[in-house]
Structure 1
Amino acid sequence: MATQTNQETLTVQEAIEARQSIRKFKEEQIPRTVIDQLFKMVRLAPSAWNLQPWRYHVITDPALKVKLQEAAYGQTQVTSAPAVIVLASDMEDVLHHLPETIHPGMTEEQKQTEVANLSGIFNAMTVEERGQWGLTQTNIALGFLLIAIKGLGYSSVPMLGFDQAKIKELLGISEHAKIAAMIPFGKQDSDGYPHHRFELDRIVTFH
């Protein structure tokens, strides 16, 4: 599907090869049409049983970004970027809306069976265990998000250094939710480090 944006878009390979972590951004707002297009792509990320536990919080308000920066121990990329995404996972919300995750092509009997099976699996877990399971799925969406941002001509940096409790309080995120990352993004105004990665024989084993 063609992307209707005003900036040059990249192929998947180009986006992967060009993506770097950027910590200084231009004071240039991101059009809402671009953000909408970003999430139209990212929502296609796969998840086990199609449960889609990810929840995105997009922050553009300058005053709120200042508070987010304080919760992120003063890291300046939070306020430098025109927009910040906080990516969270909420498995309790998923469980309360299980029927919404079932494919509409199933019969009613199949849908009821699937809901019952999933309820049994996840209700046998603790809230913490469900939260960790959902977080692993949400990290798949994080990878999609980083590549999609670059593919649309923007740059980002995934952050894990922040006070989760403070971020949840600021954004009204439920206490049981897990935050996968905070992602400032925009047009880069600095260079990232060149890629330094292991050779394939260090990370790939053929059997």
Structure 2
Amino acid sequence: MNTTEQSLSVRQAIEKRHSIRTYKQEPIPQQDLNKIFELVRLSPSAWNLQPWRFHVVTDNDLKEKLEEAAYGQKQVTSAPAVVVVTSDMEDVLANIADTVHPGLSPERKEEEVANLSGFFNGMTVEDRAQWGLTQTNIAFGFLMLAVQGYGYSSNPMLGFDQEKVRELLNLPGHVKFAGILPIGKADSEGYPHHRFDLEKIATFH
């Protein structure tokens, strides 16, 4: 199946997306995972720092341990793939030159690296980690739309023991969690949308 040709429009992906908790037991082809993350990596971030990191879990034993860390929520093992979305600002700072646009002159690149390093080194590890998390949440939204656009379903999760997940994935203590996203072909229907009216959420000045 050529998923690229059959992908949904942005509007269709938004309208069709529901949180799904039961999935068909069909592996997601690596090609489809690659296509999804090729789109997600285009997510915007301030200063192009791209602090998001995606840990894609397909191993059944590890998914069982993740389910336990997620307080027994069965969608973790029902889904053929589970994405743990994290933010790592310390890795960003260690490789800050990689975020600077290659089209800049060497002098301009040096200036950018110095400015960014000075700004973030003036913050605590915790403060810059929280800053990075706000950027990673943007990519989390892009991820859900990319998943839906390629014909898969998902369910964003924040209910899990972060320290257990950190240990399972061998992540350093400074890494922040944006959430967990089980993905796969839906084997159940989500609840109908129940959202506030436009007048409740949008004020036009």
Normalising by structure 2, report the TM-score. 0.98
The alignment partner of 2:196 has SS state of coil
Report deviation, 1:5.
Answer: 2.6
Residues 22-58 of structure 1 deviation map (CA, whole Å, 9 limit, x = unaligned): 0000000100000000000000000000000000000
Tell me the equivalent position of 2:200.
202
Tell me the equivalent position of 2:150.
152
Q: Which runs of 5+ in 2 are unaligned?
A: none
Please tell me whether the aligned partners of residues 7 and 152 of structure 1 are also in contact (alpha carbons under 8 angstroms).
no
Provide the rounded CA distance (Å) in 2 between the counterparts of 1:157 and 1:82: 13
The alignment partner of 1:132 has SS state of helix
Root mean square deviation of aligned Cα: 1.2
1:1-207 alignment, distance < 5 Å: 4-5=2-3, 8-207=6-205
Please tell me whether the aligned partners of residues 128 and 176 of structure 1 are also in contact (alpha carbons under 8 angstroms).
yes
- Give the aligned residue type for 2:152: Y
Residues 157-204 of structure 1 deviation map (CA, whole Å, 9 limit, x = unaligned): 000000111101101111100010100000000110000111111111
Provide the rounded CA distance (Å) in 2 between the counterparts of 1:42 and 1:4: 19
Report deviation, 1:7.
Answer: 7.7
Provide the rounded CA distance (Å) in 1 between the counterparts of 2:28 and 2:49: 29
Q: Which runs of 5+ in 1 are unaligned?
A: none
- Give the aligned residue type for 2:173: E
Please tell me whether the aligned partners of residues 5 and 33 of structure 1 are also in contact (alpha carbons under 8 angstroms).
no
Normalising by structure 1, report the TM-score. 0.97
Alignment identity in percent? 62
Residues 59-109 of structure 1 deviation map (CA, whole Å, 9 limit, x = unaligned): 000000000000000000000000000000000000000000000000010
